[in-house]
Amino acid sequence: MARLKAAFAELNLTDDQKAQIKHIRWTVTDRQERRQQILAVLTPDQKAKLKQMIQEHRNSGGAAPASS
Residue 66 lies inside a defined structural domain of this protein:
no
- Would you say residue 24 lies in a domain? yes
Average per-residue pLDDT for the chain: 86
| Distance set, CA 40 to CA 23, 26, 59, 65, 66 (Å) | 13, 16, 25, 23, 25
Give the global pTM: 0.74
Q: What is the pLDDT of residue 68?
A: 42
Over residues 21-26, mean pLDDT: 94
Residue 35 domain-assigned? Answer: yes
In-domain check, residue 19 = yes
Residue 56 domain flag: no
* 53 close to 10: Cβ distance less than 8 angstroms: yes
Q: Is residue 7 part of a domain?
A: yes
Say how many domains are in the chain.
Answer: 1
| Residue range of the domain that includes 8 | 1-41
24-53: average pLDDT: 95
Say whether pLDDT at 15 is over 70. Answer: yes
